[in-house]
Amino acid sequence: MNNKYQVLKKYFGYDEFREGQELLIDSILDGNDTLGIMPTGAGKSICFQIPALMLEGITLVVSPLISLMKDQVSALNQSGIHAAFLNSSLTQNQYKLALQYAKEGRYKIIYIAPERLMTEDFLDLALNSNISMISIDEAHCVSQWGQDFRPSYLKIVEFIESLPSRPIVSAFTATATTEVKDDIIRMLKLQDPTTLTTGFDRKNLHFSVQTPKDKYAVVSKYIKENEDKSGIIYCLTRKIVEEVCERLDREGVAVTRYHAGLSDAERHKNQDDFIYDVKPIMVATNAFGMGIDKSNVSFVIHYNMPKNIESYYQEAGRSGRDGEPAECILLYAGQDVVTNQFFIENNSDNEGLDRETFEVVKQRDRERLKKMTFYCFTNECLRDYILRYFGEYGTNYCGNCSNCMTQFDTLDVTDIAQGIIGCILDCRQRYGITVIIDTVHGSNSAKIRQYRMNENQYYGKLSHVTIPRLRQVLNHLILTNYLNLTNEEYAILKLTPISKSVLDDNELITMKLAKEREIVPKEKKLKKATKGSSKNKNPELFELLRKLRTDIAKEESMPPYIIFTDKTLTQMCDLLPTTYEEMLTVSGVGEVKYSKYGERFLKIINQYMRSSKKV
Task: Note whether 56 and 170 are same-domain residues.
Answer: yes
Query: In the Cβ-directed half-sphere of 185, how many Cα atoms lie within 13 Å?
Result: 17
Of 373, 347, 358, 387, give the one whose Cα is nearest residue 485: 373
Alpha carbon 395 to its chain centroid, in Å, reads: 23
Predicted local distance difference test score (pLDDT) of residue 200: 84
pLDDT of residue 524: 45
Residue 235's closest CA among 201, 261, 253?
Answer: 261
Q: Are residues 176 and 211 in the same domain?
A: no
pLDDT digits (tens, 9 = 90+) for 417-444: 999 999 999 999 999 999 999 999 999 9
Residue 258 is predicted with a pLDDT of 95
Q: What whole-number percentage of the chain has pLDDT above 90?
A: 54
CA distance 456 to 217: 41
Q: What pLDDT, on a 0 to 100 scale, did the predictor assign at position 395? A: 77
Q: Determine the length of the chain.
A: 615
Identify which of 100, 111, 42, 43 has the alpha carbon closest to the alpha carbon of residue 77.
Answer: 111
Max distance between CA atoms of the chain, in angstroms, equals: 86
Asked whether residue 172 is assigned to any structural domain, the reply reads: yes
Domain residues for the domain of 567 are: 539-611
Flag whether pLDDT at 502 surpasses 50: yes
Q: Is pLDDT at 190 greater than 90 in this prediction?
A: yes
Domain membership of residue 188 (yes or no) is: yes
What is the rounded distance in angstroms from the CA atom of residue 72 to the CA atom of residue 43?
12
The answer to whether residue 526 is domain-embedded is no
Cα–Cα dist 27/36, whole Å: 11
In a domain, 473, yes or no: yes
How many structural domains compose the chain? 4
Among 10-24, 392-406, 422-436, 442-456, which is the least confidently predicted range?
A: 392-406
Per-residue pLDDT, 26: 96
Are 425 and 483 within one domain? yes
In this prediction, residue 535 carries a pLDDT of 47
128/56 same-domain check: yes
List the CATH number of the domain containing 564.
Answer: 1.10.150.80
The pLDDT value recorded for residue 521 is 44
Q: What letter would DSSP give residue 8?
A: I
Query: Are residues 237 and 286 part of one domain?
Result: yes
pLDDT at residue 37, rounded to an integer? 92
CATH number at residue 438: 1.10.10.10
Rounded to whole angstroms, the Cα distance separating 188 from 194 reads 14
Q: Is 384's pLDDT higher than 80? A: yes
Shared domain check, 232 and 139: no
| Whether 252 and 381 share a structural domain | yes
pLDDT tier at 321 (50, 70, 90 boundaries)? confident
CB atoms within 10 A of CB 77: 14
- CA gap 420, 445 in Å, rounded: 18
Pick the last residue of a domain from 197, 217, 251. 197
pTM: 0.75
> In the chain, what are the helix, strand and coil shares in percent, each to the nearest 5?
45, 15, 40
218, 359: one domain: yes
Q: Is residue 229 assigned to a domain?
A: yes
CA distance 25 to 402: 37
Contacts of 188 (CB under 8 A, 6+ apart): 136, 139, 142, 156, 157, 169, 171
Please indicate, yes or no, whether residues 153 and 285 belong to a single structural domain of this protein. Answer: no
Q: Which of 4-13, 93-102, 193-202, 285-294 has the lowest mean pLDDT?
A: 285-294
% of residues, the chain, pLDDT over 70? 94
- Give a yes or no: residue 228 inside a domain: yes
Structural contact between residues 296 and 271, judged by C-beta atoms closer than 8 angstroms: no
pLDDT at 302 over 60: yes
Q: Both 348 and 297 in a single domain?
A: yes
Residue 343 lies in a domain: yes
pLDDT at 1 over 80: no
- Lowest-pLDDT range of 183-187, 390-394, 459-463, 554-558: 390-394
Q: In this structure, what CATH number is given to the domain that contains residue 310?
A: 3.40.50.300
Residues 130-146 pLDDT 10s: 999 999 998 988 987 66
| Structure confidence at residue 362 (pLDDT) | 83
pLDDT of residue 146: 64
Is there a single domain that holds both residue 431 and residue 450? yes
Picking from 358, 413, 304, 289, the residue whose alpha carbon sits closest to that of residue 40 is: 289
Question: Looking at the structure, do residues 186 and 211 belong to the same domain, yes or no?
Answer: no
Whether residue 349 is predicted with pLDDT greater than 80 in this model: the reply is no
- Segment 191-205 mean pLDDT: 90
- Asked if 299 contacts 270 with a C-beta cutoff of 8 angstroms, the reply is no
| Model confidence at 533: pLDDT above 60 | no
Mean pLDDT of 160-176: 92
Residue 179 predicted with pLDDT over 90: no
Q: pLDDT tens digits for 70-108?
A: 878 888 888 889 999 988 888 888 888 888 888 888 899
Domain boundary among 148, 173, 197: 197
Residue 291 confidence (pLDDT):
63
When pLDDT is cut at 50, 70 and 90, the band that residue 240 belongs to is very high
- The pLDDT mean for the chain works out to 88
Of 151, 8, 122, whose CA–CA distance to 60 is shortest? Answer: 122
Q: In this predicted structure, what is the pLDDT of residue 532? A: 39
Which of 151, 176, 197 delimits the end of a domain? 197
Alpha-carbon span 400 to 531, nearest angstrom: 11
Note whether residue 525 is domain-resident: no
Digit-coded pLDDT (tens) for 548-558: 998 998 888 88
**pLDDT recorded at residue 353:** 66
